[in-house]
Amino acid sequence: MQQKKELNIQMGSRIRKARLQAGLTQEAFAELLHLGPKHISAMERGTVGLSMETLQNICQVLHVSADTLLFGDIEKSPADALSDLGGFLLKNLPRWKKSSIKYWKFLQKNKCFGRYSWNIESMISV
């Protein structure tokens, strides 16, 4: 029997919680990750560790950050959350260009970024 490491047990528990919140069975989750269900079970119990590639794939499939899986629920400051939102909007800008720029300008005008002071026009061509 493999020995469990505390970090693996904690991460496995967090992965299981995120998987259940996503409404996935171990079998469906294993299929999305191209792993076997037994591997998922062992991972969630903490008897096996994760490769960086597997961790990255889990984060993408479950839409959670690696920080959340490694350290638990991490509360972000409002400025960090808005920064993440700004990055998301810029990433998806080709689809939502006009509305994103309008929203970004609104956030800047109302000083919603705290320590961040970005100029949308300097980041993209309007």
For residue 17, the model assigns a pLDDT of 93
126 or 33: which carries more pLDDT confidence? 33
Angle between helices 37-45 and 26-33 (to 10 degrees): 110
- pLDDT band at 126, cuts 50/70/90? very low
Q: Choose among 85, 74, 75: nearest CA to 112.
A: 85
For residue 87, the model assigns a pLDDT of 72
Summarize pLDDT for 67-109 with one digit per residue, the tens: 889 888 766 666 666 677 777 766 766 665 666 667 767 766 7
Residue 82 to residue 79: CA distance in whole angstroms: 5
For residue 99, the model assigns a pLDDT of 65
Residue-averaged pLDDT of the chain: 79
For residue 39, the model assigns a pLDDT of 96
Structure-token pair, residue 29 = 């989750």
Tokens 């904690």, located at residue: 10
- Domains of the chain: residue spans and CATH: 6-71 (1.10.260.40), 78-123 (no CATH)
**Strand, helix or coil at 24?**
coil
- Judge contact between 108 and 118, C-beta under 8 A: yes
